[in-house]
Amino acid sequence: MKTRITLPVVLALALAGSAAAATTGSVSGTLTPNKVGKASTLNVSATGPFSFSGQPQSAKFVTQKGFKSSPKSVRVLCSSSQESSGSCPSQSKIGSGTAQATGTLPPFPPQHDNITFTLYLGVPQQGGDIASVVIVGTDTYFKSTLHSVGRLFRSGGRLELLFTQFPTVSNIPAGTQVTLDKLQFTAGAKRTVKKGKRKHRHKVRYSLITNPSTCTGHWTGTLTLTFSNGTWTKSISTPCKK
């Protein structure tokens, strides 16, 4: 049996884990630092197993109002051609992570896959977008390169990250169960630029994630996954400090 477990599927299902299999695994997310107005880094950790059937057609994460993001947080944006080929420059890197997954189809033995991936910031896919987010990874079982591109934009004062173009998984046999065992990734970037001339030069700081300027105990977001047979939504929160 050959069961291909593609990177965007693993990432989307990982975030779904706390709702789909709360009794057998956990998912947590933190912002460091978690103080108001600070440039921060997002850390996500999931420990399974989480079991799923099928794959998402889209994945959308929306923050509460107040979060900001700048494409100038990296020195170079991944170009459209580089996004298409999954060959983004190192200067556009915004994060990295690892995942472990298993495909099972009795009576065949389980097939294990270890995936390492890198996150990059790219040129906007549509007018008005902040940027795109490119996921590029490799897996040990197929020794193949996997990549997907999502949109990062503002919507009603909120940040929204949307993936709608997952690779089609055509070689998973019917009845195969995909289990996510572990997932960890970190995302964040910041850059300081000097502007002005001579005595009037000043520093301007840009960040991929800038925390809201207010805190009432927690900051929140909403994750929505759409499958062929339905849609579900989960709220996510992380502690904050003034």
CA–CA gap between residue 195 and residue 201 (Å, rounded): 5
Q: Is residue 19 part of a domain?
A: yes
CA–CA gap between residue 89 and residue 82 (Å, rounded): 8
- For 170, phi then psi, to 5°, come to -95, -10
- For 5, phi then psi, to 5°, come to -110, 100
Q: Is residue 240 part of a domain?
A: no
Q: How many domains is the chain partitioned into structurally?
A: 1
Q: Is residue 163 part of a domain?
A: yes
CA–CA gap between residue 109 and residue 121 (Å, rounded): 38
Residue 192: CB atoms within 10 A of its CB come to 10
Tokens describing residue 187 = 């995302």
Residue 212: predicted pLDDT: 96
Q: Is residue 82 part of a domain?
A: yes
Comparing CA positions, the residue from 202, 204, 236 lying closest to residue 219 is 236
Residue 176: predicted pLDDT: 64
CA 147 to chain centre: 12
Q: Is residue 115 part of a domain?
A: yes
Give the residues of the chain that fall short of pLDDT 70: 1-27, 49-56, 141-144, 166-178, 227-229, 232
Helix ranges restricted to H, the chain: 7-20, 80-85
Cβ contact 100:17 at 8 Å? no
Q: Is residue 175 part of a domain?
A: yes
User: Where in the sequence is the domain holding 220, given as residue range(s)?
Assistant: 7-225
CA–CA gap between residue 56 and residue 33 (Å, rounded): 31
Residue 140: predicted pLDDT: 75
Cis peptide before 49 (omega within 30 of 0): yes
CA–CA gap between residue 195 and residue 21 (Å, rounded): 50
Q: Is residue 1 part of a domain?
A: no
CA dihedral 133, 134, 140, 144 (to 10 degrees): 160
Residue 132: CB atoms within 10 A of its CB come to 23
Give how far Cα 228 sits from Cα of 53, 161, 231, 233, Å.
11, 20, 8, 15
CA–CA gap between residue 43 and residue 25 (Å, rounded): 17
49-101 pLDDT, tens digit per residue, is 665 555 567 788 899 999 999 999 999 999 999 988 889 999 999 999 888 87
Residue 144: predicted pLDDT: 67
CA–CA gap between residue 123 and residue 164 (Å, rounded): 17
